[in-house]
């Protein structure tokens, strides 16, 4: 529930506003559906590896075992950066949602309050934090289910105005939007592509389940089940949610603008407001605000644990290994909270909506790099499994598409990564902030990877010996309670380490 709730955030509740405006209802649906296939391939690939080898650190540790330490280091810092951007984006989104009720108070006040709230939650002992997040995540899941049902009822004419919408907005203004007025197939394709990019922001984070692998009880059973459920539910919520949004809100509605401080901040709020339900928009907006705070809290938890993991792996300053008596990495929480101040960029000349878009772009690019790293790791894993003629029937979870699914995800992720800020290449649409936010994470990742290659002078590891992990419990125990070197030594004994065998 927590990992699923952490992913359901402003990408669906708020980010779909721009996606619908730029792509149309069918373009929006296709964009999220195609992204759904990518999510499934990534989760299936990760699920096969992490359920067989449930080690602390998830995909970051797997990359070190099966590819090389440089990829692991780059993925670790990239993952931290991804959720730092998410954290700032969710805080900016909170200000947008509060602006629905009032714009008389400076957004800095609301951002400080939200940041203080999520920071205090992350300083709480883990079991208290888990309890908080469970209920917050439950509210989000109930909210999105309720909104989807409400949207269907409104579409069928069940609202106070009894207006049966049906597929009206698919006919006029039409299923696609001619992106930036570009006519023909090109304009429609660019609209779809913009929705695909927005869907990236919405779906990044599904791999959070892997981060908990080192703490899971009976991981061979719980992880495959969790990975299946998260992937299926995310696809259901996002694909079904975007379909309903395309039915009940017109793509040419002028309120679909994140820079406007009114009900147009969310397509769901627009539809409910137009149906004549007076009190419900404020209630829904309050639920969305809760969702934004919950997502921000989840993002801070992920960033602090990722940074702590980097320190334990000697890829970050040793001082960040410190924890309090409750086991909370308090210094890492403070660093993550400080990075949340990036949201204050919206206090200057740019509105909260514009800053939200920039941060969403940066986190999307960084998230795509994480997925690419996971898929590359899986291809190395699959090569090793084939080389050893290991029977996959012994695996707790199997990716049915195997390397073909990984290739599908890898190709689409790479194309989306390269052409993420595609609008800057259209005549008259150059934007320096868009170009920088679209390519800065890629430059940072390459600098980390190739810089560490020079530092470590490391070579790609040999993908030869993989043996059935009959002693997974020993490795699991060591990954939790012992030094990383101890865990590594046992994996060598079991024949699970490509690097040393």
Distance CA 126, CA 148 (A): 32
Burial class from Cβ neighbours inside 10 Å (0-12, 13-18, 19+) for residue 252 reads middle
Domains and CATH numbers, the chain: 2-466 (1.20.1740.10), 467-501 (no CATH)
Which run of H or E residues covers position 354?
helix 352-387
Confidence label for 335 from pLDDT (cuts 50, 70 and 90): very high
Q: For residue 351, what pLDDT is reported? A: 61
Q: What is the mean pLDDT of residues 331-337?
A: 92
Q: How far apart are CA 301 and CA 83, in angstroms?
A: 9
Residue 155's pLDDT band, with cuts at 50, 70 and 90, is very high
The whole model's pTM is what?
0.85
For the stretch 267-309, pLDDT in tens is: 888 888 888 887 777 887 788 888 888 888 888 888 888 888 8
Contact 493, 475 (CB under 8 A): no
What is the per-residue pLDDT for 308?
A: 87
Report d(CA 329, CA 303) in Å as an integer: 11
CA dist., res. 318 & res. 172, Å (int): 60
Mean pLDDT confidence for 353-371:
84
Residue 242 has pLDDT above 90, yes or no: yes
Give the residue carrying structure tokens 């989807």.
148
How confident is the model at residue 435, as a pLDDT?
Answer: 92
Contact between 82 and 204 (Cβ < 8 Å): yes
Residue 245: is its pLDDT beyond 90? yes
Beta strands (DSSP E) in 6-126 are: none
- Provide CB contacts within 8 A for 343, sequence distance 6+: 87, 88, 89, 91, 92, 95, 111, 115, 355, 359
| pLDDT for the residue numbered 5 | 59
pLDDT score at 261: 47
Q: Cα separations (Å) of 198 from 140, 256, 297?
A: 20, 14, 22
Do the Cβ atoms of 127 and 107 come closer than 8 Å? no
Q: Over the chain, what is the mean pLDDT?
A: 81
pLDDT tens by residue, 84-138: 888 888 888 788 788 878 878 888 888 899 999 999 988 887 677 777 777 877 8
Whole-number pLDDT of residue 278: 78
Listed residue (301, 304, 379) closest to 133, CA to CA:
301
- Picking from 136-140, 182-186, 477-481, 492-496, which range would have the lowest pLDDT averaged per residue? 492-496
């Amino acid at each position: 529930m927590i990992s699923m709730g952490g992913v359901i955030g402003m990408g669906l509740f708020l980010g779909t506003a721009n996606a619908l405006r730029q792509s149309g209802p069918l373009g929006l649906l296709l964009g999220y559906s195609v992204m759904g296939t990518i999510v499934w391939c990534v989760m299936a690939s990760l699920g096969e590896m992490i359920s067989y080898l449930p080690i602390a650190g998830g995909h970051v540790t797997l990359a070190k075992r099966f590819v090389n330490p440089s990829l692991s280091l780059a993925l670790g810092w990239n993952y931290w950066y991804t959720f730092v951007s998410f954290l700032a984006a969710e805080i900016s989104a909170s200000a947008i949602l509060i602006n629905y009720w009032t714009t008389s108070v400076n957004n800095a006040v609301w951002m400080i309050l939200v940041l203080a709230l999520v920071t205090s939650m992350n300083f709480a002992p883990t079991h208290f934090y888990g309890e908080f997040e469970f209920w917050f995540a439950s509210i989000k899941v109930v909210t999105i289910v309720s909104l989807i049902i409400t949207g269907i009822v409104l579409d069928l004419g069940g609202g106070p105005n009894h207006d049966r919408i049906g597929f009206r907005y698919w006919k006029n203004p039409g299923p696609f939007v001619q992106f930036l007025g570009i006519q023909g197939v090109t304009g429609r394709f660019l609209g779809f592509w913009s929705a695909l990019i927005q869907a990236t922001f919405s779906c990044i984070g599904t791999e959070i389940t892997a981060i908990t692998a080192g703490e899971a009880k009976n991981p061979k059973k719980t992880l495959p089940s969790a990975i299946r459920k998260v992937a299926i539910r995310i696809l259901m919520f996002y694909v079904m949610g975007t379909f309903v949004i395309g039915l009940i809100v017109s793509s040419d509605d002028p309120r679909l603008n994140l820079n406007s401080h009114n009900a147009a901040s969310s397509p769901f709020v627009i539809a409910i407001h137009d149906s004549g339900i007076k009190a419900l928009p404020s209630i829904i907006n309050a639920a969305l605000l809760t969702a934004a705070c919950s997502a921000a809290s989840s993002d801070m938890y992920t960033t602090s644990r990722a940074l702590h993991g980097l320190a334990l792996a000697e890829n970050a300053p040793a001082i960040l290994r410190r924890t309090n008596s409750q086991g909370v990495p308090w210094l890492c929480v403070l660093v993550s909270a400080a990075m949340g101040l990036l949201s204050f960029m919206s206090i200057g000349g740019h509105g909260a909506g514009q800053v939200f878009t920039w941060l969403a772009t940066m986190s999307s690019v960084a998230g795509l790099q994480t997925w690419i790293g996971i898929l590359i790791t899986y291809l190395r894993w699959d090569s090793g499994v084939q080389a050893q003629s290991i029977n996959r029937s012994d695996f707790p979870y199997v990716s049915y598409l195997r390397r073909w699914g990984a290739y599908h995800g890898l190709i689409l992720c790479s194309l989306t990564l390269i052409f993420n800020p595609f609008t800057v290449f259209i005549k008259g649409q150059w934007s320096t902030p868009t170009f920088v936010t679209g390519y800065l994470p890629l430059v940072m990742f390459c600098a980390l990877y190739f810089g560490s290659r020079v530092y470590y002078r490391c070579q790609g590891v040999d993908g030869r010996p993989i043996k059935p992990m009959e002693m997974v419990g020993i490795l699991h125990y060591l990954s939790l309670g012992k030094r990383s070197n101890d865990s590594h030594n046992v994996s060598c004994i079991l024949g699970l380490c490509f690097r040393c065998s």
